[in-house]
Amino acid sequence: MDEGLLGVCIGEKRRIVVPPHLGYGEEGRGNIPGSAVLVFDIHVIDFHNPSDSISITSHYKPPDCSVLSKKGDYLKYHYNASLLDGTLLDSTWNLGKTYNIVLGSGQVVLGMDMGLREMCVGEKRTVIIPPHLGYGEAGVDGEVPGSAVLVFDIELLELVAGLPEGYMFIWNGEVSPNLFEEIDKDGNGEVLLEEFSEYIHAQVASGKGKLAPGFDAELIVKNMFTNQDRNGDGKVTAEEFKLKDQEAKHDEL
Protein backbone atom coordinates (compact mmCIF):
# COMPACT_ATOMS: atom_id res chain seq x y z
CA MET A 1 0.00 0.00 0.00
CA ASP A 2 2.88 2.34 0.81
CA GLU A 3 4.36 1.78 -2.67
CA GLY A 4 0.95 2.01 -4.31
CA LEU A 5 0.32 5.49 -2.91
CA LEU A 6 3.50 6.94 -4.34
CA GLY A 7 2.92 9.42 -7.15
CA VAL A 8 -0.80 10.01 -6.57
CA CYS A 9 -2.34 13.46 -6.88
CA ILE A 10 -5.20 15.02 -4.96
CA GLY A 11 -8.53 13.86 -6.35
CA GLU A 12 -7.06 10.80 -8.08
CA LYS A 13 -8.81 7.43 -7.95
CA ARG A 14 -6.84 4.24 -8.49
CA ARG A 15 -6.92 0.51 -7.77
CA ILE A 16 -3.95 -1.00 -5.91
CA VAL A 17 -3.45 -4.78 -6.03
CA VAL A 18 -1.10 -5.97 -3.28
CA PRO A 19 0.49 -9.45 -3.50
CA PRO A 20 0.93 -11.41 -0.23
CA HIS A 21 4.65 -10.74 0.20
CA LEU A 22 3.92 -6.97 0.12
CA GLY A 23 0.81 -7.32 2.28
CA TYR A 24 0.22 -9.59 5.30
CA GLY A 25 2.30 -12.57 4.12
CA GLU A 26 1.58 -16.24 4.64
CA GLU A 27 0.23 -15.71 8.15
CA GLY A 28 -2.40 -13.05 7.40
CA ARG A 29 -3.87 -10.91 10.18
CA GLY A 30 -7.25 -10.83 11.89
CA ASN A 31 -9.93 -11.55 9.29
CA ILE A 32 -7.36 -11.43 6.46
CA PRO A 33 -6.42 -15.00 5.47
CA GLY A 34 -2.84 -16.08 4.88
CA SER A 35 -1.31 -15.53 1.44
CA ALA A 36 -4.17 -13.17 0.51
CA VAL A 37 -3.97 -10.89 -2.50
CA LEU A 38 -5.49 -7.54 -1.43
CA VAL A 39 -7.37 -5.15 -3.70
CA PHE A 40 -7.73 -1.51 -2.60
CA ASP A 41 -9.90 1.00 -4.45
CA ILE A 42 -8.76 4.38 -3.21
CA HIS A 43 -9.74 8.02 -3.65
CA VAL A 44 -7.10 10.58 -2.63
CA ILE A 45 -8.80 13.41 -0.74
CA ASP A 46 -5.76 15.36 0.44
CA PHE A 47 -2.16 14.97 1.55
CA HIS A 48 0.71 17.03 2.90
CA ASN A 49 4.40 16.61 3.52
CA PRO A 50 6.28 17.86 6.60
CA SER A 51 8.79 19.48 4.25
CA ASP A 52 6.02 21.58 2.65
CA SER A 53 6.01 25.29 3.45
CA ILE A 54 3.18 27.78 3.21
CA SER A 55 1.82 29.04 -0.09
CA ILE A 56 1.31 32.79 -0.59
CA THR A 57 -0.70 34.36 -3.41
CA SER A 58 -0.85 38.15 -3.47
CA HIS A 59 -4.08 39.49 -5.02
CA TYR A 60 -3.53 43.22 -4.57
CA LYS A 61 -0.69 45.57 -3.64
CA PRO A 62 -1.11 49.35 -3.34
CA PRO A 63 1.03 51.59 -5.56
CA ASP A 64 3.32 52.35 -2.61
CA CYS A 65 4.27 48.99 -1.13
CA SER A 66 7.76 49.88 0.08
CA VAL A 67 7.30 49.44 3.84
CA LEU A 68 7.11 45.70 4.50
CA SER A 69 6.22 43.89 7.71
CA LYS A 70 9.00 42.28 9.75
CA LYS A 71 9.56 40.62 13.09
CA GLY A 72 8.59 42.91 15.97
CA ASP A 73 6.09 45.01 13.99
CA TYR A 74 2.60 45.49 15.39
CA LEU A 75 -0.01 44.48 12.78
CA LYS A 76 -3.75 44.96 12.48
CA TYR A 77 -5.42 42.84 9.82
CA HIS A 78 -8.65 41.20 8.68
CA TYR A 79 -8.90 37.56 7.68
CA ASN A 80 -11.25 34.83 6.57
CA ALA A 81 -10.12 31.36 7.67
CA SER A 82 -11.44 28.30 5.87
CA LEU A 83 -10.63 24.70 4.97
CA LEU A 84 -9.62 23.61 1.49
CA ASP A 85 -13.20 22.60 0.73
CA GLY A 86 -14.39 26.13 1.49
CA THR A 87 -15.79 25.45 4.96
CA LEU A 88 -15.56 28.76 6.84
CA LEU A 89 -13.85 28.51 10.22
CA ASP A 90 -13.63 32.12 11.33
CA SER A 91 -13.81 35.67 9.99
CA THR A 92 -12.77 38.96 11.56
CA TRP A 93 -14.89 40.75 8.97
CA ASN A 94 -17.96 39.02 10.41
CA LEU A 95 -16.88 40.00 13.92
CA GLY A 96 -16.39 43.60 12.85
CA LYS A 97 -12.93 43.98 14.38
CA THR A 98 -9.35 43.41 13.32
CA TYR A 99 -6.94 40.82 14.65
CA ASN A 100 -3.90 42.45 16.21
CA ILE A 101 -0.52 40.82 16.84
CA VAL A 102 3.18 41.49 17.27
CA LEU A 103 4.85 39.64 14.42
CA GLY A 104 7.31 36.98 15.55
CA SER A 105 6.08 36.90 19.15
CA GLY A 106 4.28 33.54 18.97
CA GLN A 107 0.78 35.02 19.09
CA VAL A 108 -0.39 33.07 16.03
CA VAL A 109 0.46 29.68 14.52
CA LEU A 110 3.84 29.56 12.79
CA GLY A 111 2.35 29.36 9.28
CA MET A 112 0.32 32.54 9.82
CA ASP A 113 3.34 34.33 11.26
CA MET A 114 5.29 33.36 8.12
CA GLY A 115 2.40 34.40 5.87
CA LEU A 116 2.25 37.90 7.35
CA ARG A 117 5.94 38.65 6.71
CA GLU A 118 7.03 41.15 4.03
CA MET A 119 3.49 42.46 3.61
CA CYS A 120 2.57 46.13 3.13
CA VAL A 121 -0.46 48.04 4.39
CA GLY A 122 -3.36 47.63 1.98
CA GLU A 123 -2.05 44.38 0.51
CA LYS A 124 -4.42 41.44 0.12
CA ARG A 125 -3.14 37.88 -0.05
CA THR A 126 -4.16 34.27 0.39
CA VAL A 127 -2.01 32.09 2.62
CA ILE A 128 -2.36 28.29 2.57
CA ILE A 129 -0.91 26.65 5.67
CA PRO A 130 -0.11 22.91 5.87
CA PRO A 131 -1.04 21.12 9.13
CA HIS A 132 2.46 20.99 10.61
CA LEU A 133 2.63 24.80 10.41
CA GLY A 134 -0.96 25.19 11.63
CA TYR A 135 -2.78 23.22 14.31
CA GLY A 136 -1.16 19.86 13.59
CA GLU A 137 -2.74 16.43 13.82
CA ALA A 138 -4.72 17.35 16.93
CA GLY A 139 -6.45 20.45 15.55
CA VAL A 140 -8.54 22.55 17.93
CA ASP A 141 -11.41 20.73 19.61
CA GLY A 142 -14.73 21.86 18.15
CA GLU A 143 -13.10 24.47 15.91
CA VAL A 144 -10.38 23.10 13.61
CA PRO A 145 -10.26 19.42 12.54
CA GLY A 146 -7.06 17.46 12.92
CA SER A 147 -4.51 17.58 10.08
CA ALA A 148 -6.40 20.48 8.49
CA VAL A 149 -4.90 22.54 5.68
CA LEU A 150 -5.88 26.14 6.45
CA VAL A 151 -6.69 28.87 3.94
CA PHE A 152 -6.44 32.47 5.12
CA ASP A 153 -7.59 35.43 3.02
CA ILE A 154 -5.82 38.40 4.60
CA GLU A 155 -5.91 42.18 4.27
CA LEU A 156 -3.30 44.18 6.21
CA LEU A 157 -4.81 47.42 7.51
CA GLU A 158 -2.17 48.90 9.81
CA LEU A 159 1.53 48.44 10.56
CA VAL A 160 3.37 50.03 13.48
CA ALA A 161 7.12 49.54 13.16
CA GLY A 162 8.65 47.52 15.96
CA LEU A 163 11.92 48.07 17.78
CA PRO A 164 15.27 46.39 17.19
CA GLU A 165 15.32 42.81 18.43
CA GLY A 166 15.92 42.62 22.17
CA TYR A 167 14.66 46.16 22.88
CA MET A 168 11.39 47.21 24.52
CA PHE A 169 12.24 50.93 24.64
CA ILE A 170 14.53 53.13 22.55
CA TRP A 171 15.47 56.78 22.38
CA ASN A 172 14.66 58.60 19.14
CA GLY A 173 17.61 60.92 19.52
CA GLU A 174 20.59 61.67 21.70
CA VAL A 175 20.35 60.55 25.31
CA SER A 176 20.70 63.30 27.90
CA PRO A 177 24.04 63.14 29.74
CA ASN A 178 22.11 64.04 32.91
CA LEU A 179 19.44 61.40 32.49
CA PHE A 180 19.33 60.22 36.09
CA GLU A 181 19.07 63.78 37.38
CA GLU A 182 16.19 64.48 35.00
CA ILE A 183 14.27 61.43 36.25
CA ASP A 184 15.07 62.22 39.90
CA LYS A 185 12.94 65.37 40.00
CA ASP A 186 13.04 65.81 43.75
CA GLY A 187 16.82 65.48 43.74
CA ASN A 188 17.02 63.05 46.63
CA GLY A 189 19.34 60.66 44.79
CA GLU A 190 16.69 57.94 44.55
CA VAL A 191 14.15 57.18 41.84
CA LEU A 192 10.90 55.37 42.66
CA LEU A 193 8.73 53.48 40.16
CA GLU A 194 6.23 56.36 40.02
CA GLU A 195 8.95 58.87 39.06
CA PHE A 196 10.46 56.47 36.55
CA SER A 197 7.10 55.68 34.92
CA GLU A 198 6.12 59.34 34.69
CA TYR A 199 9.40 60.22 33.00
CA ILE A 200 9.32 57.38 30.46
CA HIS A 201 5.71 58.09 29.46
CA ALA A 202 6.56 61.77 29.07
CA GLN A 203 9.40 60.89 26.70
CA VAL A 204 7.09 58.68 24.64
CA ALA A 205 4.38 61.36 24.52
CA SER A 206 6.90 63.95 23.30
CA GLY A 207 8.33 61.61 20.65
CA LYS A 208 11.75 61.44 22.28
CA GLY A 209 11.33 57.78 23.18
CA LYS A 210 9.39 54.79 21.90
CA LEU A 211 7.99 51.71 23.63
CA ALA A 212 7.63 48.41 21.78
CA PRO A 213 4.17 48.45 20.13
CA GLY A 214 1.55 45.83 20.90
CA PHE A 215 2.65 45.13 24.47
CA ASP A 216 1.40 46.36 27.85
CA ALA A 217 3.18 49.71 28.28
CA GLU A 218 2.93 49.68 32.08
CA LEU A 219 4.41 46.20 32.23
CA ILE A 220 7.31 47.24 30.00
CA VAL A 221 8.07 50.26 32.20
CA LYS A 222 7.83 48.16 35.36
CA ASN A 223 10.27 45.62 33.92
CA MET A 224 12.63 48.41 32.91
CA PHE A 225 12.54 49.76 36.45
CA THR A 226 13.08 46.30 37.94
CA ASN A 227 16.15 45.85 35.73
CA GLN A 228 17.57 49.09 37.10
CA ASP A 229 16.70 48.27 40.71
CA ARG A 230 19.59 45.88 40.98
CA ASN A 231 19.39 45.27 44.73
CA GLY A 232 15.61 44.94 44.71
CA ASP A 233 14.90 47.58 47.36
CA GLY A 234 12.20 49.36 45.35
CA LYS A 235 14.31 52.35 44.36
CA VAL A 236 17.07 53.14 41.88
CA THR A 237 20.19 55.08 42.84
CA ALA A 238 22.69 56.80 40.59
CA GLU A 239 25.14 53.96 41.24
CA GLU A 240 22.63 51.37 40.02
CA PHE A 241 21.42 53.36 37.03
CA LYS A 242 22.93 52.70 33.62
CA LEU A 243 21.92 52.32 29.97
CA LYS A 244 21.56 48.90 28.39
CA ASP A 245 24.37 49.38 25.91
CA GLN A 246 26.42 52.56 25.88
CA GLU A 247 27.86 51.65 22.48
CA ALA A 248 24.51 51.14 20.70
CA LYS A 249 23.03 53.76 18.44
CA HIS A 250 19.73 53.46 20.30
CA ASP A 251 20.11 52.93 24.00
CA GLU A 252 17.60 51.22 26.23
CA LEU A 253 17.16 51.83 29.93
Q: Which residue ranges form the domains of the chain, and what is each CATH number?
A: 2-44 (3.10.50.40), 55-160 (3.10.50.40), 169-248 (1.10.238.10)
pLDDT tens string 94-142: 999 999 999 999 999 999 999 999 999 999 999 999 999 999 989 999 9
Closest C-alpha to 168, from 98, 134, 219, 127: 219
Q: Which of the 8 DSSP states describes residue 182?
A: H
Cα of 138 vs its chain's centroid, Å: 19
pTM: 0.74
Which pLDDT does position 243 carry in this prediction? 67
Confidence of residue 249 (pLDDT cuts 50, 70, 90): very low
| Torsion over CA: 190, 196, 202, 207 (sign) | positive
- Which residues, including other chains, have CB under 8 Å from residue 217's CB and lie 6 or more apart? 201, 204, 211
**Is a pLDDT exceeding 70 seen at residue 253?**
no
What would the mean pLDDT of 27-50 be, rounded to a whole number?
Answer: 91
Closest C-alpha to 53, from 137, 120, 110: 110
What would the mean pLDDT of 225-233 be, rounded to a whole number?
Answer: 91
Per-residue burial over 172-192, b = 16 or more CB atoms within 10 Å of its CB, e = otherwise: eeeeeeebbeebbeeeeeebb
**What CA–CA distance (Å, rounded) separates 135 from 120?**
26
3-state secondary structure of 73: coil
